[in-house]
Chains A and B, each alone.
Chain A
Amino acid sequence: MEQSNDGNLSQVRHVVLVLSGKGGVGKSTITTELALALRHAGKKVGILDVDLCGPSIPHMLGVGRPDVHQCDSGWVPVYADAQKGLALMSIGFLLEDPDEAVVWRGPKKTAMIAQFVSDVAWGELDVLLVDTPPGTSDEHLAVLENLKKHRVDGAVLVTTPQAVSTGDVRREITFCKKTGVRILGIIENMSGFVCPHCSECSNIFSKGGGEELAKLTGSTFLGAVPLDPLLSGAMEEGADFIRSFPDSASFGAISTISRALLCDLEGA
């Protein structure tokens, strides 16, 4: 029984949750960017998108709405690249109509996530990133309960610089502490905007909150990613931002963060 529960995750070397507490801070964007950065570093990566109400990852990776197939071990993930180095499973793939809302209460969401976690035939992966919806509720508890038999390396928390955001992320940190999830670090997203016309930096969503939060809670500050219309644009088009804009400020930040993360995961 234990074997089959862990079966589909048995060749997944590291599992990292991407959490926030606050909505709209860029969890899915950061998950996608980290996955691409790790892929470019030669790693085999998977993304599990458990945001049942608002699954954003399929759009960001430009995979459209493919059919999902089953094999003996379960669902075959969708590959975002020809080399099958970036695998993805999202509820988005199971919806017939992309505009149809998933209006489910907690128990049904819990049951779906249990299936997602156990029944996707990931095969061999270096890192499985789990993108989550905002909050500290059914989805988050379901993910942890179903990953219990497999090791969860830890969680990366995403915030924007504002107090309104870090206020929610503090609660997410408590969630991690209560559920025994190691906090790998905090990423501050939307950290300043450099005007492309005059290079003036505007702190549209305030400044410094991520670093302060890391200090306050004794967590590692992984880095700050600036607001970048090139990045937003790439996400919209489903383009590989890393390949298209290697000179952008966000690329630098994301590469540093993914290297630090990999170091932590492989060193532990």
Chain B
Amino acid sequence: MAMAALRKEGRRFAPLVSSPNPINAIRSTLAPTEEQVGLGVRSISTQVVRNRMKSVRNIQKITKAMKMVAASKLRAIQVRAENSRGLWQPFTALLGDTPSVNVKKNVIVTISSDKGLCGGINSTSVKISRALHKINSGPDTQCKYVVLGEKGKAQLIRDSKKDIELIMTELQKNFLNYTQVSVLADDILKNVEFDALRIVFNKFQSVVSFLPTTATVLSPEIVERESEAGGKIGDLDSYEIEGGETKSEVLQNLAEFQFSCVMFNAVLENACSEQGARMSAMDSSSRNAGDMLDRLTLTYNRTRQASITTELIEIISGASALEG
């Protein structure tokens, strides 16, 4: 009778017999398996846990592979981004850096990635763009967006749809080079009226650190205005202008060249940051999957041991019932 009682309670006491400690965890994982298997069937199925383990293992493999791919892409593009860093420095040396300039027509160029799974860099760029928009939109100033990249477009189109002038996606389909970026810059310059262009991107500092940055390019009229007002661009007048018919023509060419150079560097840096962020996101994801797999393995072993113990108890109680 005691044996019969034990048999009935066998399902409940088996985990107690096998491992005294994490009772609650076992009960919660066992309960669904029993329901699935139904009444009358004694063996506890490890199938569910095994399926979960298989899927988690597959996900771990995929994220590890994505990390390796991102690492190799990063290596390739990092060299090019670093080589292009010398390109914008002469412009900043000549014209200074004026992010706090006060102009009527602001255009914010937000650079984001096309593909996802790259951490928080796109959200950061969009947050910075929105804050810049708030700073620069007032009663007599207007602020428009030019969005590069699918992820930025998806986020900005939700609440600033009417402010978006131009959207460009699939930049990285072809190898990024200066010609492509200068065509892009030409497009923007032709179609968008601006007094100041504010380019928002993530600058690549290291594999784990990306700094949101904003670079400002002023139109030639504003450059003239600021140089007359003094301040940072104050000594632009002391520069002799060689070439071109008039000073304004050369300044126009200068502004356009500056925009395409700064855009080129920005696009490369953002692509670098994207690969780096993807690397670390996939790395933490595979690590999480590894942890999950460890916990599931423990659960699986406990389930397996519990079912063995149940079988044993049944056999023993059956045998002892026969004997006595």
Note whether A and B form a binding pair.
Answer: no
